[in-house]
Amino acid sequence: MKKIYNVVCGVKRNPYMVFFLGFTTIILIGAILLTLPVASQNGRSVGFVNALFTATSAVCVTGLVVVNTASHWTVFGKTIIVMLIQVGGLGVMTMTALISFFIGKRMSLKTRVFIMEERNVDELQGVVRLTKNILIFTFAIELIGAILFSFVFIRDYGIQKGIGFSVFHAVSSFCNAGFDLIGNSMINYVDNPVITLAVCGLIVIGGIGYYVFWDVYETKKFHMLTLHSKLVIVITATLLIGGTIMMFALEHNNPETMGNLSLSGKIQAAIFQAVNPRTAGFNSIPTEKIRMSTAVFTIFLMFIGGSPASTAGGIKTTTFGVLIVSFYNLVKGKRDFEVFERRITPDTTIRAAAILMISLLLVIVVSFVLAITEEATGYDFLDMLFETVSAFATVGLSKGLTPYLSDAGKLILSLVMLIGRVGPMTVAYAFLKQNKNIGNYTYPEGKVIIG
């Protein structure tokens, strides 16, 4: 009994454990609901492992699927999936706050502290207003997206089905989930500017995060933005523009992807393929038919992902930006790492390096394990690596391996998706005991030869 009490008390004192267990609980509830026969079109349970994988992919806003979302799930199953996507995109504690607002319950101090940690806010003051603003911002953007989608989907599927499709894809796009109800993602709309631009716009907005938009709204001028916002905007713009150019250069003459499209269609497809590896998972060209060079470049984009405090995954744009800035300043021989006339603290650089190393190690180890467990599928190591990075960065793109995964492979990638959504550092903080004696003493310096 004492051990149970200590565990419960430890969870209450550790917000990182709360986040991890919160996401895990929502996943398990979703998995149980998706195992019900009423969730499947054929009236038979999809099985717990498949349901768990789907629920994890939805809550972790990934988009990897072992069964076709459009043809396998009933309206009940699709409703559960979109609800899981919304919870995963907003965050467990933010959804808890939303429920509190609806029932008129005052938000407790403990909930405010957890939201502060979940949203990476430094001050407790104004957490309630911040949460309300995030909820309003999210639902407003999703509504705009649904209206844009409705111009095409109502025309193609009728009023009732078209509205349902519009809402589902607006939530899936903004939350960077990548689930679709069409059956082959957005391949049918590869050269439709309404769908292409709406999906890309929602993904970018969701992947940048509320704080950057609020900062821009408040300041109006780039030089007055916070360092965080400047890094997010510059890195995001660089990756989107550079990604579009690279995708066009690599695939414009590939007859199995963009080769047969018009020039405008190729440009739209290139933009779409540059935006979606930033953790969304939609595709407008067959991912399994892209060239090897394109697959490698896509892995690079997926691994970086979106920005902190957003619906995106990956190591994040700011982590990548801090590492680039630190490397540049180190090579230049500067003692302080500076960018935009601001100094980056050593702690920030160390944290960025730690996230990179943990993420790389996780991806390499899991890819190696999949190479063992999924050898019978006939897919090569690049496909395993592609699948692993897609799961870790909560992207959802696949070279076709996902439906053929063994139960062991599904469980492994489910765990990888959870770690990717919660964050590798958060998972480490949740399970590793913190040293209370840090700062009480220091050891003598030791010299180590580097390089």
- Distance, in Å, from the CA atom of 426 to the CA atom of 428, rounded to the nearest integer, reads 5
Number of Cβ atoms within 10 Å of the Cβ of 326: 20
Q: Is the pLDDT of residue 4 over 50?
A: no
Strand-pair partners of 342: 339
Report the C-alpha gap between 153 and 93 in whole angstroms.
Answer: 33
Neighbours of 362 (CB within 10 A): 18
Nearest by Cα to 399 from 302, 317, 314: 302
19-37, pLDDT tens digit by residue? 788 889 999 999 999 999 9
Please give the model's pTM, rounded to 2 decimal places.
0.86
pLDDT at residue 202, rounded to an integer: 93
Q: How many CB atoms lie within 10 A of CB 146?
A: 23
CA dihedral 85, 90, 94, 97 (to 10 degrees): -60
* Contact (Cβ atoms closer than 8 angstroms) between residue 327 and residue 426: no
> pLDDT per residue over 196-244, tens digit each?
999 999 999 988 877 888 888 888 788 888 888 899 999 999 999 999 9
Amino acid at 287: T
Distance CA 177, CA 179 (A): 6
Buried-exposed string 163-186: b where 16+ CB fall within 10 A, e elsewhere: bbbbbbbbbbbbbbbbbbbbeebb
For 145-195, how does the pLDDT look when each residue is reduced to its tens digit (9 = 90+)?
Answer: 999 999 999 999 999 999 999 999 999 999 888 899 998 889 999 999 999
- pLDDT band at 435, cuts 50/70/90? low
Bridge partners of 339?
342
| Of 142, 143, 119, 141, the residue nearest 130 (C-alpha) | 119
Q: Is the pLDDT of residue 444 over 50?
A: yes
Nearest-angstrom CA–CA distance, 114 and 129:
15
**What does each C-alpha distance from 277 to 10, 264, 323, 365 come to in angstroms?**
37, 21, 20, 22
The average pLDDT across 410-423 equals 91
* More confident call, 336 vs 440: 336
Mean pLDDT confidence for 355-364? 94
pLDDT for the residue 103: 45
- Residue 10's pLDDT is 45
The 10s digit of each residue's pLDDT in 61-120 is 898 999 999 999 999 999 999 999 998 887 655 655 555 544 455 555 555 555 555 545
Token pair in block for residue 61: 């806003």
Say yes or no to pLDDT of 410 above 50: yes
pLDDT (0 to 100) of residue 135: 82
Residue 334 or residue 301, greater confidence:
301
Give the pLDDT confidence score for residue 20 in this predicted structure. Answer: 82
* pLDDT computed for residue 240 by the predictor: 94
pLDDT at 412 (0 to 100): 95
Tell me the CA distances in angstroms from 444 to 16, 68, 447, 450, one per residue in order. Answer: 32, 59, 10, 19
CA-nearest of 304, 195, 183, 188 to 240 is: 304
Could you report the per-residue pLDDT of 379-401, keeping only the tens digit for each?
A: 999 999 999 999 999 998 999 89
Break the chain into its structural domains and give their ranges: 2-103+127-431
d(C-alpha 246, C-alpha 267), whole Å: 11
* pLDDT number for residue 449: 75
pLDDT at position 218, please?
Answer: 82
Q: Which segments of 68-209 does DSSP mark as H helices, in order? A: 69-72, 75-90, 92-103, 109-118, 127-157, 159-174, 193-208
Cα first-last separation, the chain: 52
The conformation of residue 73, written as its DSSP 8-state character, comes to: B
The pLDDT tens digits for 236-290 are: 999 999 999 999 999 999 999 999 999 999 999 999 999 999 888 899 999 999 9
Assign 3-state DSSP to the chain and report helix, strand, coil percentages, each to 5: 70, 0, 30
